[in-house]
């Protein structure tokens, strides 16, 4: 953070849910349609409190399900409103059908997704199962490590999704409990500064514009469906240009710099860990310890999970000897999603690093600095040996016999 832009008199102590709610308030959301679910409940409760106390002019609609929550956002968005909602886990599973409707109808709803494990068994703690589940829904996905980033990403989400070259839903992710319920210093913009940053909502194809009647949710079949999806995909794939412009303006206003891919001590690293959410910050502590031992290790985080920044990831990993992909979700009979994305980024490049997949932290299981150090040391040993230690995928953390899968061939 640029200290010249940091006013200590403006510091607040917020958790990630409060950061979301404040961002909604400052963006002057017109309609929040929601069905609260742990651990995202605090986001909706916070905004509802602002509404009940007369601090916002927008409407809050409590619906009967998460499916209805996104449906309400679609209806209000189609009518020309700035809309937002929040959910997690099973709520997102119920909402997922309607997410595809929102993206296909080009409704720039903002979804604050507080990442949580999917049942069964039932678990209310954080992992990335829900983030992964909707990765192909046509929604832009941003990721945060802490409440400050959650605030900045949620504010940015409105401006990104509403840009006339994008017009897509944007998901602002944060780790359940580890970010959503952890209070830290946050340096918010003033209400005027934040609203000026987000900008006034520009309605497109409003159902309430009776001088220019439109239809939403039409049926296309084989004659126009592919053309529609191609335009939607094109908007998604070109959105990084808009996102970088938004991040640049945010830096100019606050001194806080964000990139499509964040990295820490990767430039000379032999071993690079790729991780999402709070693990990115924990890994930095482990790296400081291991650098003192002489190990050249670094960590990288895709700030932008969708569209996946394949080209940047590929460029940044060209000189690594070993890459460890940290997947905080049960992979369901294959390698993890992050492993697959990173491997796909490297497949047509000259680089041939060792790429391994770590499954960890499911249902809120702790990932400590000591465990991360062990993962780094193991990868460093593999890099020095020039081969993986038998298997591609390893589960770290569960009690019982060691779990390794996908035997290395050759």
**Mean pLDDT to the nearest integer, 336-346:** 98
Q: Ramachandran region of residue 171, left (φ > 0), alpha (ψ -120 to 50) or beta?
A: beta
pLDDT per position as a tens digit, 216-258 = 888 999 999 999 999 999 999 999 999 999 999 999 999 999 9
As a whole-number percent, the residues of the chain with pLDDT over 70 amount to 98
pLDDT per position as a tens digit, 350-385 = 999 999 999 999 999 999 999 999 999 999 999 999
CA 23 to CA 28: how far, in whole Å?
Answer: 9
Structure-block tokens of residue 218 = 């039409």
Distances (CA, A) of 283 to 110, 286, 291, 372, 373: 29, 5, 12, 7, 8
The pLDDT value recorded for residue 7 is 58
The pLDDT value recorded for residue 9 is 63
How would residue 1 be classed by pLDDT, with cut points 50, 70 and 90? very low
CA proximity to 89, closest of 60, 110, 43, 120 = 120
Q: CATH number of 261-407: 3.40.50.300, 3.40.50.920, 3.90.198.10, 3.90.1720.10? A: 3.40.50.920
The pLDDT value recorded for residue 217 is 84
How would residue 4 be classed by pLDDT, with cut points 50, 70 and 90? very low
Phi and psi, residue 171, nearest 5°: -100, 125
pLDDT surpasses 60 at 3? no
pLDDT per position as a tens digit, 72-85 = 999 999 999 999 99
Name residues whose C-beta falls within 8 Å of residue 32's C-beta, 6 or more positions apart in sequence. Answer: 24, 44, 47, 58, 59, 60, 61, 83, 84, 85
Its pTM stands at: 0.96
pLDDT per position as a tens digit, 42-74 = 999 999 999 999 999 999 999 999 999 999 999
The pLDDT value recorded for residue 218 is 86
Three-state helix/strand/coil letters over the chain: CCHHHCCHHHCEEECHHHHHHHHHHHCCCCEEEECCCCCCHHHHHHHHHHHHCCCCCCEEEECCCHHHHHHHHHHHHHCCCCEEEEECHHHHHHHHHHHHHHHHCCCCCEEEEEECCCCCCCCCCCCCHHHHHCCCCCCEEEECCCHHHHHHHHHHHHHHHHCCCCCCCEEEEEECCCCCCCCEEECCCCHHHHHHHHCCCCCCCCCCCCCCCCCCCCCCHHHHHHHHHHHHHHHHHHHHHHHHHHHHHHHHHHCCCCCCEEEECCCCCCEEEECCCHHHHHHHHHHHHHHHCCCCEEEEEECEEECCCHHHHHHHCCCCCEEEEEECCCCCCCCCHHHHHHHHHHCCCCCCCEEEEEEECHHHCCCCHHHHHHHHHHHHHHHHHCCCCCEEEEEECCCCCCEEEEECCC
How would residue 409 be classed by pLDDT, with cut points 50, 70 and 90? confident
Boundaries of every domain in the chain: 3-254, 261-407
The pLDDT value recorded for residue 201 is 96
Topology adopted by domain 3-254: Rossmann fold (3.40.50)
pLDDT surpasses 90 at 182? yes
């Amino acid at each position: 953070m640029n200290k010249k832009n940091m006013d200590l008199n403006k510091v607040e102590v917020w958790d990630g849910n409060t950061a979301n709610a404040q961002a909604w308030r400052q963006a002057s959301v017109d309609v929040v349609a929601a069905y609260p679910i742990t651990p995202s409940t605090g986001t909706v409760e916070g905004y509802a409190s602002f509404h009940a106390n007369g601090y916002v002019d927008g409407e809050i609609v409590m619906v009967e399900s998460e499916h209805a929550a996104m449906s309400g956002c679609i209806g209000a968005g189609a009518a020309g409103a700035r809309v937002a909602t929040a959910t997690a886990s099973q709520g997102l599973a119920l909402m997922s059908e309607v997410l595809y409707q929102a993206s296909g109808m080009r409704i720039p709803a903002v979804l604050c997704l507080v990442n949580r494990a999917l049942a069964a068994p039932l678990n209310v703690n954080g992992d990335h199962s829900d983030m992964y589940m909707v990765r192909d829904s046509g929604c832009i996905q941003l990721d945060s490590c802490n409440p400050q980033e959650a605030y900045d990403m949620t504010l940015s989400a409105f401006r990104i999704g509403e840009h006339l070259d994008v017009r897509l839903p944007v998901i602002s992710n944060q780790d359940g409990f580890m970010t959503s319920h952890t209070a830290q210093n946050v340096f918010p913009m003033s209400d005027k500064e934040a609203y000026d940053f987000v900008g006034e909502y520009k309605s497109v194809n409003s159902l309430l514009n009776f001088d220019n009647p439109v239809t939403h949710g039409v049926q296309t079949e084989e004659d126009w469906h592919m053309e529609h999806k191609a335009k939607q995909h094109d908007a998604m794939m070109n959105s990084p240009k808009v996102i970088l412009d938004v991040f640049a303006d945010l830096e100019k206003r606050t001194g806080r710099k964000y990139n499509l891919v964040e990295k820490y001590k990767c430039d000379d690293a032999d071993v690079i860990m790729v991780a999402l959410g709070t693990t990115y910050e924990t890994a930095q502590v482990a790296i400081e310890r291991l650098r003192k031992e002489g190990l050249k290790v670094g960590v990288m985080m895709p700030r932008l999970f969708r569209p996946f920044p394949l080209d940047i990831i590929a460029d940044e990993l060209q000189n690594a000897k070993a890459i460890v992909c940290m997947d905080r979700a049960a992979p369901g009979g294959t390698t993890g999603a992050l492993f697959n994305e990173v491997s796909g980024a490297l497949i047509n490049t000259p680089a041939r690093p060792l790429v391994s997949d770590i499954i960890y932290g499911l249902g809120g299981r702790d990932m400590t600095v000591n465990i991360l150090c062990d993962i780094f040391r193991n990868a460093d040993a593999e890099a020095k040996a020039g081969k993986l230690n038998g298997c591609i995928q390893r589960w770290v953390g569960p009690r019982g016999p060691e779990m390794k899968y996908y035997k290395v061939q050759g």
